[in-house]
């Protein structure tokens, strides 16, 4: 009988163990980023399940029940904090890094709580207009396609240009104002099918399975960020599991087929994580075009562990893509191509970096990164100049071949002077080599008399240039409730030899633990898009780059915010902002053009030369956020943005910018249901509703277009017309299965995007074949699906 009881006990223990997970990670001081030893990490609701951080700040909590969990962290002399919404499964250990803030007044009898660690930015110097997000959110929200750019479009003040691309419009700014940073250094456009100097694309090459919690900033940036006017993605890779080998395979309509591995490396706490993906969205018919897109990417992060000379890590991303648009296969309503032309597109990028962290004393460190990146794209366009006899009249109409290499050096010194003062200074040096060639017949004359427009070399440059950005900033906790951040950023641009200083400041006052008001100001500069700087103008028969002396575009941000905790898991936020923009590129004669209207497409204007830095613009608005963090099996996020975006060209007329939607509203929510006999598996429903004002556009001058044989816009009435409002509803169903006997985990989902098949307009353009203006629509109903297996 005892044997049977012992056997039954062992089986119960096995099942119990198998249907639990592990939460482990590191506890650090927020200001010095040094490990905290002796902190208590406890599972909320089961305080007997806990651990204490060791001398390196590491901890491991075993036998954690599967499902959404919350942990609390406490340590004498520090503000208590917590991490909520930790998704524990049987297939993978959860790794988290938690930062704690030293108490302003160290009194043993007083316990101070700083609330959820997730509600605050990772960058301690960021006070206003910053949102921390997790990779789990990227995959959770409906309609996201596992894309971090589409994730942040749910945040207040942010929208995407359209469904076909993930360009990010922040508070009315052009997507070209975005800065992408990975592991502390700027990187090229991390999207498939990217083109020179753009920041978005149809498919993201950033793998959310390798990302850690990251920050997204929308204005009044801290002093370490530069050469950006709109927003900043400050992304970090997570480390691999330092104790166990883990694997994952998955398949999804947009990410494609993926394989990932991670595990320990060496005997000094090192680890690795690497993943590869191969897309096949063209096979599913969900690409929105008859053409077959091909893309794949690889990401990795290798941590070599802690040594006497510091900690070294190596990280990188690689992506490649191509697509052929053949006119004979293209539908007349295809948003990407036309029936009377063939297009051949290739795109690729590589970014690798070697990072070194060196501890200096007990409260300081030096972080140095050396990086290399390459981005390249080609576009060949053949047009059937006489559509009736295409085989005999196929002309090379566009020929683009661009490549950019970049060597990056970044060094940062951070020192916690005391619990009230933290100082940070650094330098970013970027050396570029640009080899750009753009030739086109578009809008050209027939000077050689062959009956066709001449193929003119619009860009032909092989140039080296540098951008140097020194900065210094400090955080001053003036009182327990009042915090001041101040700094200065410098920027040198070698093309026009301009050097600017930019003051940055932010202030935060906490009335109590539930109510905080904040203010931020920042002066920012960014160069006009590189393709515009190197455009050739024919001056007396000689090609001259007449835009190279353009000034850096200047922007001033003012932000006032109020943050309130409405209930234990409910939070509200309001921000009011104003942005004044000067020195934008405009034409030397009276016209409606401004460089502020560029950046929301695959390329830039190719006929704007002899520009001058006299353009102006402004963005202003108010944003509301109501958020219910994941608890009791459900979550909610409601954001509203009311804004105005205007600009002036050289004609002095104030116009709507193409990004002046006027309003954006998002409503997201989701519910998880525990199912199965042991209630360890999860069925989920997520939904997202988005509506936004239509974008402004410049109407086609049909008579002029018919006479010329190509599209001519009515520039005198630039951005005077508005598309119908955008509207979309997505619904997602998911199922998670936690293994009963082994370290295994399965996840399935079906995401019904634009479930109502609502027609959202993509563009109105001139059709050379029918001599009419045609409407092309965005993607209608589009089901996404995916499966993931972790072991």
Q: What is the DSSP string of 135-149?
A: HHHHHHSTT-TT-HH
Mean pLDDT of the chain: 92
Provide mean pLDDT across the span 175-184.
97
Provide mean pLDDT across the span 449-472.
94
Q: Can you give the pLDDT at residue 613? A: 98
Among residues of the chain, what percentage have pLDDT more than 90?
81
For residue 708, give both structure tokens: 């010329």
Residue 386: band (very low, low, confident or very high) from pLDDT cuts 50, 70, 90: low
CA 554 to chain CA mean position, Å: 23
* Contact indicator for 786, 253 with CB cutoff of 8 Å: yes
Measured CA to CA in angstroms, residue 234 lies from 7, 122, 134, 388 at distances of 52, 9, 12, 52
Residue 359 has pLDDT above 50, yes or no: yes
Q: Can you give the pLDDT at residue 138? A: 87
Residue 196 has pLDDT above 80, yes or no: yes
Q: Can you give the pLDDT at residue 120? A: 85
pTM of the entire structure? 0.93
Q: Can you give the pLDDT at residue 391? A: 56
For residue 506, give both structure tokens: 């932010």
Can you tell me whether residue 152 is helix, strand or coil? helix
Structural domains present in the chain: 19-120 (2.60.40.1120), 203-790 (2.40.170.20)
Measured CA to CA in angstroms, residue 109 lies from 74, 106, 112, 261, 427 at distances of 14, 9, 10, 47, 43
Separation CA 226–CA 257 (nearest Å): 36
Q: Can you give the pLDDT at residue 392? A: 59
Neighbours of 624 (CB within 10 A): 15
What pLDDT, in 10s, does the model give residues 294-333?
999 999 999 999 999 999 999 999 999 999 999 888 887 7
What pLDDT, in 10s, does the model give residues 209-219?
999 999 999 99
Phi and psi, residue 36, nearest 5°: -110, 120
CA 399 to chain CA mean position, Å: 30
What pLDDT, in 10s, does the model give residues 753-777?
999 999 999 999 998 888 999 999 9
Measured CA to CA in angstroms, residue 676 lies from 88, 512, 583, 679, 736 at distances of 17, 44, 63, 5, 11
Residue 339: band (very low, low, confident or very high) from pLDDT cuts 50, 70, 90: confident
Phi and psi, residue 156, nearest 5°: -65, 140
Provide mean pLDDT across the span 478-496.
97
Identify the top-confidence range among 562-571, 640-649, 774-783. 640-649
What pLDDT, in 10s, does the model give residues 709-741?
889 999 999 999 999 999 999 999 999 999 887
């Amino acid at each position: 009988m005892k044997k049977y009881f012992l056997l039954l006990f062992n089986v119960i223990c096995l099942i119990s163990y198998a249907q639990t997970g592990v939460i482990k990670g590191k506890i650090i001081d927020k200001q010095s980023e040094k490990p905290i030893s002796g902190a208590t990490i406890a599972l909320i609701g089961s305080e007997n399940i806990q651990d204490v951080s060791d001398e390196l700040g590491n901890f491991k909590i075993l036998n954690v029940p599967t499902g959404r969990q919350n942990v609390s962290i406490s340590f004498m002399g520090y503000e208590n904090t917590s991490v909520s919404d930790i998704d524990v499964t049987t297939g993978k250990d959860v790794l988290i890094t938690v930062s704690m803030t030293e108490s302003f007044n160290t009194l043993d009898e007083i316990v101070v709580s700083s609330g959820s660690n997730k509600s605050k930015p990772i960058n301690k110097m960021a006070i206003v207009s910053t949102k921390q997000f997790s990779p789990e959110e990227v995959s959770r929200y409906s309609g996201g396609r596992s894309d971090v750019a589409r994730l942040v479009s749910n945040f207040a003040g942010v929208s995407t240009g359209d469904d076909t691309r993930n360009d990010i419009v922040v508070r009315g700014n052009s997507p070209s104002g975005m800065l992408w940073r990975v592991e502390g250094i700027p990187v090229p456009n991390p999207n498939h099918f990217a083109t020179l100097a753009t920041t978005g694309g149809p498919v993201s090459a950033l793998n959310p399975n390798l990302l850690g919690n990251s920050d997204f900033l929308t204005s009044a940036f801290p002093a370490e960020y530069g050469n950006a006017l709109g927003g900043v993605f400050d992304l970090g890779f997570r480390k691999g599991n330092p104790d166990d080998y883990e694997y994952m395979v998955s398949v999804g309509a947009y990410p494609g087929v993926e394989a990932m591995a991670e595990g320990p490396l060496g005997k000094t706490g090192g680890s690795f994580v690497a993943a590869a993906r191969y897309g096949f969205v063209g096979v599913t018919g969900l690409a929105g075009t008859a053409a077959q897109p091909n893309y794949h990417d690889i990401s990795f992060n290798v941590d070599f562990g802690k040594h006497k000379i510091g900690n070294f890590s190596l990280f990188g991303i690689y992506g490649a893509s191509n697509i052929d648009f053949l006119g004979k296969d293209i539908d007349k309503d295809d948003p990407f191509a036309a029936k009377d032309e063939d297009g051949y597109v290739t795109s690729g990028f590589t970014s690798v970096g070697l990072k070194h962290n060196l501890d200096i004393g007990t409260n300081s460190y030096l972080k140095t990164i050396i990086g290399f990146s390459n981005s390249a794209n080609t576009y060949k366009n053949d047009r059937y100049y006489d559509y009736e006899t295409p085989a005999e009249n196929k002309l090379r109409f566009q020929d683009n071949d661009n490549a950019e290499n970049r060597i990056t050096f970044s060094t940062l010194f951070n020192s916690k002077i005391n619990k009230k003062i933290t100082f940070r200074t650094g330098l970013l040096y970027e050396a570029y080599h640009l080899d750009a060639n753009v030739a086109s017949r578009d809008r050209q004359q027939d000077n050689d008399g062959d009956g066709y427009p001449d193929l003119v070399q619009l860009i032909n440059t092989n140039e080296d240039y540098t951008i140097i950005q020194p900065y210094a900033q400090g955080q001053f906790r003036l009182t327990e409730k009042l915090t001041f951040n101040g700094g200065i950023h410098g920027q040198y641009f070698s093309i026009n030899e301009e050097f600017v200083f930019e003051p940055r400041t932010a202030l935060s006052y906490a009335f109590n633990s539930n109510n905080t008001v904040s203010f931020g100001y920042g002066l920012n500069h960014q160069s006009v898009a590189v393709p515009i700087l190197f455009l050739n103008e024919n001056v007396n028969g000689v090609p001259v780059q007449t835009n190279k002396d353009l000034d850096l575009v200047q922007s001033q941000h003012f932000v006032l915010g109020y943050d309130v905790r409405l209930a234990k898991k409910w939070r509200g936020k309001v921000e009011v902002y104003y942005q004044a923009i000067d020195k934008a590129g405009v034409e030397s004669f009276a016209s409606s053009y401004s460089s502020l209207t560029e950046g929301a497409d695959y390329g830039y204007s190719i006929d704007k030369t002899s520009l001058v830095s006299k353009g102006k613009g402004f963005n202003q608005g108010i944003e509301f956020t109501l958020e219910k963090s994941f608890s009791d099996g459900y979550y909610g996020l409601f954001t509203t943005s009311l804004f105005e975006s205007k600009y002036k060209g050289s004609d002095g007329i104030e116009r709507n910018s193409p990004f002046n939607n006027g309003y954006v509203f998002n409503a997201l929510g989701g519910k998880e249901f525990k199912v199965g006999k042991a209630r360890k598996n999860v069925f989920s429903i997520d939904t997202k509703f988005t509506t936004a004002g239509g974008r402004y556009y410049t109407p086609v001058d049909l008579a002029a277009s018919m006479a010329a044989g190509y599209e001519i816009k009515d520039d005198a009435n630039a951005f005077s017309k508005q598309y119908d409002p955008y509207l979309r509803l997505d619904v997602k169903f998911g199922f998670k299965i936690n293994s009963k006997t082994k370290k295994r985990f399965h996840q399935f989902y079906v995401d019904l995007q634009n479930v109502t098949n609502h027609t959202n307009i993509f563009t109105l353009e001139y059709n050379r074949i029918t001599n009419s203006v045609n409407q092309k629509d965005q993607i209608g109903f589009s089901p996404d699906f995916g499966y993931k297996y972790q072991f």
